[in-house]
C-alpha cells in the first residue's frame, strides 16, 4: 500500500506544491498534517479529507509516534525549525523528509543524522531537482562528458524579496539568499560536474536598503574551486532576478534558463534543444523516497548530502566575512 506522509508546517510550499503533488503520487499519500493554526487544520481537513486523529499541532506533535497511518514526516517549516522537528520526528519513529536548506548549521545537521540513525529511520532532503528531467540531463551531459570536459560553469538564482518575510531574518533563515537560493546553484554545479569544491572565495556588495537587509547579505558572488582546477562562478541575490545554469565544455555547451523553477524549464545545448514532458518534480521526489523506505535503500538525496551543502555554505560565509580563500 501507499505510505502515509504528514506535512509539518502548512505554508506556501506545503500548500502550493507538496499537497497538490501528493494527489499524484503512486507510493505515498497525504495522511496527516501538523499545524499551529486551527483555521488551517479545518480548511485542510475538508480539502484533503483528513481524519481528525491525523491532525496534530506543535504541542502534541510527539504523540504522532502512536499513529500507524503516518510513516513519513515532511518538515516544511522555516529553516531554524528544521533540526528540532526532524529530531523529534525521528524519536517518534518516523522516516523524515526535511526541506532545504537542511538546517542552519553543520552541528544541527549532525544531530539530525544521528537522531535518524539511532531510530533506524531514513532521512532525505527536499532536493526536487534531482528528479527533474532537465536538471538530470545537465547531470548526464556533464558527468558523462558528452561534450568533453567542462571548461566553464556558472549559475545564478535570485529574486526580489519583499520586506518583512522571515527569509530576511537571520535568526530564522540562518542567512540570506545563499541559504535559500544559492543552495540551488552549488547543488547544480556539483551534479553537473560530478565534483565537490575543495575551496571557495566570495564577495558581497553594498546593501541598498539597510532596513531590509539588517543582518544578511543582499547580493553575493562566490567561486568554487573544483578538484581539477575548474572554477565555478555563482551568484545569488534578494534584489536581482536570475535563474540559470550554464556549462561550456571542450566540444559544446549546455544550459538551462530558467533552471530551478517548479515547471516551465528551458534547456538548450549546442546539439539542440531539450524537450521533456511536464511532470511534478515533487511527486517524483516523494515517490522516490517512499520507494527508498519500502526497499530499505538510501535516498539519492540523503541527509549526508544536505550536511555537505550546509558545510559548503558555512565555508562561503567565512570567505565572505574574511575575504580569504577558505578550504572546504
Ligand atoms: P512559508 O513562510 O510560506 O511557510 C512557513 C510555515 O511555517 C507557515 O505555515 C508558518 O505558519 C509556519 N511556522 C511555524 N512556526 C513558525 C515561525 N516561528 N516563524 C514563521 N513561520 C512559522 O515558507 P515556505 O516558503 O513554505 O518555506 C518553508 C520551508 O520550505 C523553508 O525551509 C524553505 O526553504 C522550503 N522551501 C523549499 C522549496 C523547494 O522548492 N524545495 C520551495 C519553497 C520553500
pLDDT of residue 7: 99
Maximum pairwise Cα distance, the chain: 59
C-alpha 176 – ligand 1 centre gap (Å)? 15
159 and 102 in a common domain: no
268 and 144 in a common domain: yes
CA-nearest residue, atom 11 of ligand 1: 11
* Nearest atom within ligand 1 for CA of residue 127: 41
Q: Which residues form the catalytic set?
A: 100, 184
Site residues for ligand 1, CB cut-off 6 Å? 9-14, 36, 76-79, 99-100, 126, 128, 166, 172, 180
- Under a CB-based contact definition with an 8 Å cutoff, are residues 154 and 233 in contact? yes
Choice from 8, 12, 16, 282 to test ligand 1 binding pocket (greatest atom count within 8 A of CB): 12
* Secondary structure class of 267 (helix, strand, coil): strand
* Secondary structure class of 311 (helix, strand, coil): helix
ipTM of the modeled complex: 0.99
Phi and psi for 286 in degrees, rounded to 5?
Answer: -70, -35
CA-nearest residue, atom 41 of ligand 1: 126
C-alpha 35 – ligand 1 centre gap (Å)? 12
pLDDT of residue 159: 98
Q: How many domains does the chain have?
A: 2
Domain termination residue (choose one: 262, 278, 294): 278
pLDDT of residue 277: 94
CATH value at residue 188: 3.30.360.10
250 and 153 in a common domain: yes
51 and 139 in a common domain: no
User: Is the peptide bond between 258 and the residue preceding it cis, with omega within 30 degrees of 0?
Assistant: yes
219 and 150 in a common domain: yes
pLDDT of residue 302: 98
pLDDT of residue 13: 98
Low-confidence ranges of the chain (pLDDT < 70): none
Nearest of 72, 42, 47 to residue 57 by alpha carbon: 42
CA distance 278 to 275: 10
| Domain interval for residue 178 | 129-278
196 and 83 in a common domain: no
264: left (phi over 0), alpha (psi -120 to 50) or beta: left
pLDDT of residue 19: 98
291 and 256 in a common domain: no
Amino acid at each position: 500500500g501507499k505510505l502515509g506522509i504528514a506535512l509539518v508546517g502548512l505554508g506556501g510550499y506545503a500548500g502550493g506544491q507538496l499537497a497538490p503533488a501528493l494527489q499524484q503520487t503512486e507510493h505515498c499519500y497525504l495522511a496527516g498534517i501538523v499545524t499551529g493554526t486551527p483555521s488551517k487544520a479545518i480548511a485542510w481537513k475538508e480539502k484533503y479529507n483528513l481524519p481528525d486523529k491525523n491532525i496534530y499541532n506543535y504541542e502534541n506533535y510527539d504523540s504522532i509516534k502512536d499513529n500507524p497511518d503516518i510513516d513519513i514526516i515532511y518538515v516544511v517549516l522555516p529553516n531554524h525549525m528544521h533540526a528540532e522537528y526532524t529530531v523529534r520526528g525521528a524519536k517518534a519513529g518516523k522516516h523524515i523528509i526535511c526541506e532545504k536548506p537542511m538546517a542552519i548549521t553543520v552541528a544541527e545537521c549532525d544531530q539530525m543524522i544521528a537522531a535518524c540513525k539511532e531510530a533506524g529511520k531514513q532521512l532525505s532532503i527536499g532536493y526536487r531537482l534531482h528528479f527533474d528531467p532537465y536538471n538530470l540531463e545537465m547531470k548526464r551531459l556533464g558527468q558523462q562528458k558528452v561534450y568533453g570536459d567542462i571548461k566553464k560553469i556558472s549559475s545564478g538564482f535570485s529574486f526580489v524579496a519583499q520586506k518583512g518575510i522571515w527569509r530576511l531574518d537571520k535568526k530564522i533563515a540562518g542567512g540570506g539568499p545563499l541559504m535559500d537560493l544559492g543552495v540551488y546553484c552549488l547543488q547544480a554545479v556539483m551534479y553537473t560536474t560530478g565534483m565537490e569544491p575543495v575551496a571557495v572565495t566570495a564577495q558581497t556588495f553594498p546593501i541598498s536598503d539597510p532596513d531590509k537587509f539588517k543582518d544578511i547579505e543582499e547580493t553575493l558572488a562566490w567561486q568554487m574551486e573544483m578538484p581539477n582546477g575548474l572554477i565555478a562562478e555563482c551568484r545569488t541575490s534578494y534584489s536581482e532576478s536570475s535563474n540559470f545554469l550554464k556549462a561550456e565544455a571542450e566540444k559544446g555547451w549546455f544550459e538551462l534558463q530558467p533552471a530551478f523553477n517548479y515547471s516551465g524549464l528551458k534547456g538548450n545545448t549546442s546539439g539542440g534543444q531539450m524537450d521533456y514532458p511536464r511532470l511534478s518534480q515533487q511527486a517524483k521526489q516523494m515517490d522516490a523516497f517512499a520507494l527508498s523506505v519500502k526497499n530499505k535503500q538510501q535516498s539519492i538525496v540523503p541527509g549526508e548530502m544536505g550536511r555537505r551543502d550546509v558545510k559548503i555554505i558555512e565555508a562561503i560565509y567565512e570567505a565572505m566575512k574574511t575575504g580569504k580563500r577558505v578550504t572546504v
